[in-house]
Structure 1
Amino acid sequence: MSIDHEQRTGSELVAAEPDPVPDPGMEEHLPRPTDVDPIAERRAERQVATLFGLSVLFTLGFCVAYFAIKIKGRTDPPHIFGWGASNVALGGCLGIALLLIGTGAILWARKLMGDHEIMEMRHPARSSDEDREEALSALSLGTEESGIARRPLIRNSMLAAMGALGLPAIVALRDLGPLPGKKLFHTVWTEDMPIVQDVTGTKIKASDMQVGQLVNAEPGVFYDAFTPPGGGTTVEVPEGVTAQEDRAKAAIVVVRMDPDAITPAKGRADWGVNGILVFSKICTHVGCPISLWEQQTHHLLCPCHQSTFDLADNGKVIFGPAGHALPQLPIKVDEDGYLVAQSDFTEPVGPSFWERG
């Protein structure tokens, strides 16, 4: 019974079929100077380590140049040969660091790694188990002949050069923007700041709110500079991008419920006015705006990932991926009966972050 061609193993095909091209043979192997001269071998090893070491220095040069060459806020930043000094220094240092690593690797392979010619015939895509074991053996042999295990100077200098390349990535993360500092913990809300509707900018009178009603609102500072009635520091009107950022962080929903349905947490008994409560409009999962209000159940639903908050129970999460309750804004009424804030939020608004505590 004959064996089908596709069922033959690689070794069977080699044995059964002639070579498609006559074997040209190999020239006589000549040893390299580093194969026979220990001095040349050690010199090559030091050369490779020196290239890797210089790569580390240029990587550190990238970090130094990043901080040393000041360009922020300057109308005429420094130049080198007509090009921006920062770009030249950063690009030059990083490019040379990578070039030195590549040159060191090539020199290592040419002078110190195993130098033996091998030949292998093509075989079917699926190798036999014997061929696979042979490939693993060849891989182990290659690792051994590379000398990485018995040449700690090269190994350690290469690891240092490769590891140092992580520093530019870390340093460059600063260009993603300024660090937020305490900005994540505060909004523009201050004591006695009026609560206004987010579309018309009109103040909200407590007596006008109906049970079951929800109003999207924001601080009145966006419509006029605000000075607390009792004096104090005037809150300036934000402008441009800052205004948009502050407006988004301070967005709120104002709801009115039956006071008997509300279960205030300890210390929050005076945070509302006759069943009127105010919560952040920003979902604590990934920051989506929320205003899907179910007045019968007092639930607020996020449209993005269905996180659900019970506003009658201090904004508690009752469903979905949100990590913590909606922050509540303490409110009161002014002498004219309009809703105003008692203070800023007492906790950060928006999604969780690692310093939240």
Structure 2
Amino acid sequence: MSDTHDNVPEQDSHGSVPATFADEPIANPGLPPHHWRPSDVDEKAEKRAERQVATLYGLSLVCTVLFLVSYFVFHVGDHWDTIGGLGASTFALGLTLGGALLFIGSGTIQWARKLMVDHEIVEYRHPAASPESDREAALAALDAGVSESGIARRPLVRNSLLGAVGILGLPAIVMLRDLGPLPGDKLSHTIWEKGMRVVRDVVGTPIKVSDLEIGDLVNAEPEALFPTEANGYPPIEGTDLQQAKVKAAVIVHRMEPDDIISEQTRNWSVEGIVVYSKICTHVGCPISLNERTTHHLLCPCHQSTFDLTDSGKVIFGPAGHALPQLPLTVDSEGYLIAQSDFTEPVGPSFWERG
């Protein structure tokens, strides 16, 4: 344990401290008296702390076993098992894995606080580089260790070790596939198609040109997400519905036609009305903060800014590419409809983006 006189500068024969310490702006106060912990002086307290740490690690082990059991027991898919209305598999896996990590951390903290050596030390600053003799000794010891291991003259052992360590990454890759199938081209397409009406989000009412004034910004979705007998679209439910809504979400903005800069934006607009994806091309946040006078659309997450007059071009922020624009026209009744699906993938960059 600690010695209250460790590392305290000694006085010279004249009763003063060396110049190294005398030049300090504050006199060295030395170390305070050491306060013993109960586990340092009481064997019963020490054993009790040891049992506490072991119990916490044991609980972590139990949580890990329960994680594995939950993985195989709870059903996922078309008919998910539930716990309190939540997906049983997700709930159980999250709870048990979190518990396993929590108990390991708690046990380690308890171990450090009550059982590891409690020794106060003071170390004065010194040059960052070690003395040359120490560095030479360290390199010599490293060379000696390599030589004694025989790895340099045993290529079979060396190469087999490298192969065994290198292939350890494959199990992680295999387990990552368990997160779900690769998306294929699903990220490159949405539910939008030629002739599909643009409708207001939540309520599902179609939008006419006359419904919008200059400066209006409306959150919208494709009509197919609001199936009725009149429009004839088949119902979409569950996960498929949520995925379709996320990818197809758009904003509708009206400006003066003369404010539009790019020819493509003009060709895909109707009387100054433009439709863009609502999903930021940075990390996928929903965006709808509109600067009415400049027609700049701002993402609230990381301040990426897009120019709605110029093909959704990025003018500020970390977004990597322009906001996809939906080609727009009107039907015989004057309602806004899509000319086609988006001509590029919506959302943030991903490995299959062309």
Superposition TM-score, scaled by structure 1 size: 0.61
Say if 2:221 is the partner of 1:224. no
Query: Aligned AA for 2:293?
Result: Q
- Quick one: distance in 1 between partners of 2:352 and 2:166? 28
Q: 1:260 to 1:74 in 2, by over 3 A?
A: closer
Query: Aligned AA for 1:295?
Result: R
- Quick one: distance in 2 between partners of 1:269 and 1:298? 14
- Quick one: distance in 2 between partners of 1:239 and 1:275? 34
- Quick one: distance in 2 between partners of 1:158 and 1:323? 41
Residues 256-289 of structure 1: per-residue CA shift (max 9 Å, x gap): 10011112334x5431111111000111111111
User: For residue 280 of structure 2, what is the aligned residue in structure 1?
Assistant: 283
Is the Cα–Cα contact under 8 Å of residues 271 and 277 in structure 1 kept in the other structure?
yes
User: For residue 163 of structure 1, what is the aligned residue in structure 2?
Assistant: 166
Query: Aligned AA for 1:210?
Result: E
User: For residue 265 of structure 1, what is the aligned residue in structure 2?
Assistant: 263
Q: How does 1:10-159 map onto structure 2 within 5 Å?
A: 129-159=132-162
- Quick one: distance in 2 between partners of 1:203 and 1:184? 26
- Quick one: distance in 2 between partners of 1:223 and 1:212? 26
User: For residue 188 of structure 1, what is the aligned residue in structure 2?
Assistant: 191
Number of residue pairs aligned between Structure 1 and Structure 2: 238
Query: Aligned AA for 1:199?
Result: V
User: For residue 249 of structure 2, what is the aligned residue in structure 1?
Assistant: 251
User: For residue 324 of structure 1, what is the aligned residue in structure 2?
Assistant: 321
Farther off after superposition, 199-208 or 251-260: 199-208
- Quick one: distance in 1 between partners of 2:312 and 2:78? 47
- Quick one: distance in 2 between partners of 1:356 and 1:143? 47
- Quick one: distance in 2 between partners of 1:295 and 1:157? 65
Cα distance, 1:130 vs structure 2: 2.8
Cα distance, 1:334 vs structure 2: 1.7
Residues 168-204 of structure 1: per-residue CA shift (max 9 Å, x gap): 2222221121111111110000111111111211111
- Quick one: distance in 2 between partners of 1:212 and 1:314? 17
Cα RMSD (Å): 2.8
Q: 1:178 to 1:201 in 2, by over 3 A?
A: same
- Quick one: distance in 2 between partners of 1:292 and 1:131? 61
> Percent identity, aligned pairs only?
63
Q: 1:318 to 1:131 in 2, by over 3 A?
A: closer
Cα distance, 1:248 vs structure 2: 0.9
Q: 1:212 to 1:73 in 2, by over 3 A?
A: closer
Residues 50-84 of structure 1: per-residue CA shift (max 9 Å, x gap): xxxxxxxxxxxxxxxxxxxxx99899xxxxxxxxx
Cα distance, 1:226 vs structure 2: 8.6
Residues 299-357 of structure 1: per-residue CA shift (max 9 Å, x gap): 11111111111111111111111111111101111222111111100111111223323
User: For residue 241 of structure 1, what is the aligned residue in structure 2?
Assistant: 239
User: For residue 102 of structure 2, what is the aligned residue in structure 1?
Assistant: none
Cα distance, 1:249 vs structure 2: 0.7
Query: Aligned AA for 2:178?
Result: D
Q: 1:204 to 1:182 in 2, by over 3 A?
A: same
Is the Cα–Cα contact under 8 Å of residues 327 and 338 in structure 2 kept in the other structure?
yes
Cα distance, 1:129 vs structure 2: 4.5
Larger radius of gyration: 1
- Quick one: distance in 2 between partners of 1:350 and 1:152? 49
User: For residue 202 of structure 2, what is the aligned residue in structure 1?
Assistant: 199
Q: 1:182 to 1:298 in 2, by over 3 A?
A: same
Is the Cα–Cα contact under 8 Å of residues 226 and 236 in structure 1 kept in the other structure?
no
**1:167 match: secondary structure:** helix
Superposition TM-score, scaled by structure 2 size: 0.61
User: For residue 289 of structure 2, what is the aligned residue in structure 1?
Assistant: 292
Say if 2:335 is the partner of 1:335. no
Q: Which runs of 5+ in 2 are unaligned?
A: 1-11, 21-74, 80-122
